[in-house]
Chains A and B, each alone.
Chain A
Amino acid sequence: MNGVHDVLSPAGPQAEALYQLWNVMFVACTVVFVLTIVALAIAVWRAPRASERAKPDLDLHPRKVATLRRSVVWGIAGSSVLLLGLLLASFVADRALSALPLANAVRIDLVGHQFWWEARYESHSPELTFSTANELHVPVGRPVLVRLRADDVIHSFWVPSLSGKKDLIPGRESTIALRADRAGTYRGQCAEFCGYQHAQMALVVVADPPADYERWQALQREPARAPETAQERRGLELVEQTSCAMCHAIHGTRARARRAPDLTHVASRGWLGAGAVENTPALRAEWIANAQKFKPGINMPPLDAAPDDLAAMAAYLGSLR
């Protein structure tokens, strides 16, 4: 999946606060490192050399003891003060993370599955709610409150350019707040080992200008586009009557299962399989035929269907913008 995916490229206030903290700590730690290594280097450089047979020095001149003791004490005092300063910086950043104003927040329920992300928007409101998967759109400048639940094992939601990570733990519900202050596509990836395809459990957060976001929302709430060509009609028939409907939902059709990503607007998404393949017609057909080829170990089985049927299904799904 393409998108900005970098701790060092913050695009929102959470990530920005963490980036500032990183700068502070990086500078402080580098200074400490350089000072200590220089001290060691000087010590090694200036100390005279001897052989193993040289008689050991058992007495140290009192002034030298005093000097060394002073250096050590100053070293410890300095380190302690620096650590205290870093502790304060850490607390300040921590408070910033929880200080995001949440008025008029977009509410998303994110459920982590092996190996995809289920997103339900505005679940408190039957008129506004809709489901999608792996690709989240958010309006620029508005806070987003994400409620995190896990369906099976522990996952972790992490979009580095927007915020730190939060684990999705079965039996526990956590929340994370973030805000995108710049339009763009921000990539994220599951950050807690969750099984065979942990490596390919990515997601994108697309920050749209508010008007675009409203348009996207409205589109997502609509039922699936009716098939127009004969091939698409055949595809819909196959989708409803063979394997697809056993796990997937397409609103407005007879496919209503909730075990796999919602496909109502699958063609509007940039990638399939949580970032495994790009959502182009060719790759879409290959994915449907044998998803295990791209992402071995996921729950979607290869389809045993005739090539014509596969093409029809791919065509239908490709029409679901």
Chain B
Amino acid sequence: MSSRFLDRALVLAVASVGALTSSGCERESRDFLPPKPGAEVGHAASAAASAAAIANAAAMVGRYEHNAHAVSAGKRLWTWYNCSGCHANGGGGSGPALMDDVWIYGGDAGTIYLTIANGRPNGMPAFGSRIPKDQIWQLAAYVRSLAGLASADAAPNRDDAFLTRTPESASDPQKPETVKPSVATGRPQ
């Protein structure tokens, strides 16, 4: 029984446990209370607040995009708040598709947050005064998962409902590209 073998085995075991722990904690934590004020971001229309939103988004990724509970909550809210009314199940309709790689204003979490909070021209309502910020971040994380951009572990699986789309966890990641809207229709060219 070589002690070097044991040492190496021990290091490997500890490293695996460490890896499992950190990924597990982020993915599996259920934070029922939103982060304390200051840790999140306002939805005022000012440019400074917009910049702050985009800047803080990185901090929110672990809490939302890599968190199964948050993405799942986002999926529930997608149905509850009737996002599917314009965006269907991600394929779009009167609103643009969200499961592809085309993003009119940007596909990162902060920009999506601002899109939902402040609305956009040509039909996207502003939900900022109607939905708590925590829920907007959850929706943003879910929207990212529609394009396969949320962590695959945390993305939701199939619904217990009629089959309408591939489960988000099985969606291939669509690397976002921002495309300018055409002047006439507001749709991507």
Contacts and interface: CB of A to CB of B under 8 A. Distances in A.
Interface stretch (B85-93, B111-119, B130-138): B130-138
Interface stretch (B28-36, B51-59, B144-152): B28-36
A241 B33 contact: no
Given A292-B32, A292-B33, A296-B33, A303 B130 contact: no
Contact of B129 (A241, A292, A293): A241
A297 interface: yes
Contacts of B160: 152, 170
Interface size class on chain B is 10 to 19
B92 to A, nearest CB: 22
B76 interface: yes
Kindly name the residue among A247, A292, A301 whose own CB sees the greatest number of chain B CB atoms within 10 A: A301
A302 interface: yes
Contacts of B80: 246-247, 257, 259
B56 to A, nearest CB: 16
B134 A246 contact: no
Contacts of B32: 196, 292, 296-297
A70 to B, nearest CB: 60
Contacts of A290: 33
B81 interface: yes
B129 A242 contact: yes
Contacts, number: 40
Given A246-B80, A246-B81, A292-B33, A304 B129 contact: no
Interface in B56-112: 76, 80-81
Contacts of B34: 301-302, 304
Interface residues of A, number: 21
A299 interface: yes
Kindly name the residue among B76, B81, B132, B134 whose own CB sees the greatest number of chain A CB atoms within 10 A: B132
Given A246-B80, A247-B80, A259-B80, A303 B132 contact: yes
B130 A302 contact: no
A293 B130 CA distance: 21
A246 B33 contact: no
A299 B33 contact: no
B33 A243 contact: no
Contact of B130 (A170, A246, A292, A297): A246
Interface of B: 30, 32-34, 76, 80-81, 129-135, 160
Interface of A: 152, 170, 196, 241-243, 245-247, 257, 259, 290, 292-293, 296-297, 299, 301-304
Given A243-B131, A296-B32, 10 more contacts: A196-B30, A241-B130, A242-B130, A245-B130, A246-B131, A290-B33, A292-B32, A299-B76, A302-B34, A303-B132
